[in-house]
Amino acid sequence: MLVDVLVQVVEPEYNQVWLVFEDLTFVIHGRVGSEYLGIEAGSAPTDAVMEGVQHHAPFTQFVGRRLVQARMLGEAWNGHGFEFTFEGLTGLSMLIQSIYSSPKPDAVEDCLRLGVGHYSCGTDDAV
């Protein structure tokens, strides 16, 4: 079960994301100028990186739910990232991608793009 999601913000950019589960924590961060992302088993943020660490409001809806699937998106230098789906949320997914997954805003470099995917399979299940 996901117990917390933490994001390190280095203004104005998202730098790292921690997915804290009951028995394991994963940190997701950019590699090679965030052209592709790395995901590593680790621990919650240490005091050395706590500055700028906060909750990302759109991701709080996933806390308290069991992860049911993780998928890799895109490829290096072409929108690399991860999509996570959670039990009970068939129309939503957590998206963590390279800033280079679509046209990059001018104000940011070497960082992450965070989002929530909204899906439907027909008019009866639209979110």
Among the listed residues 14, 6, 20, 40, the one whose alpha carbon sits nearest the alpha carbon of residue 98: 14
User: At 107, is the pLDDT very low, low, confident or very high (cuts 50, 70, 90)?
Assistant: low
Mean pLDDT of 52-71: 95
The amino acid at 108? V
Question: Residues 28, 82: contact at Cβ < 8 Å?
Answer: yes
Mean pLDDT of 15-20: 92
Burial of 103 (0-12, 13-18, 19+ CB in 10 A): exposed
Domain ranges of the chain: 2-118
Question: Residues 25, 43: contact at Cβ < 8 Å?
Answer: yes
Q: Which of 11-15, 34-38, 101-105 has the highest mean pLDDT?
A: 11-15
pTM: 0.84
More confident residue, 54 or 36: 54
Question: Residues 69, 84: contact at Cβ < 8 Å?
Answer: yes
Question: Residues 119, 93: contact at Cβ < 8 Å?
Answer: yes
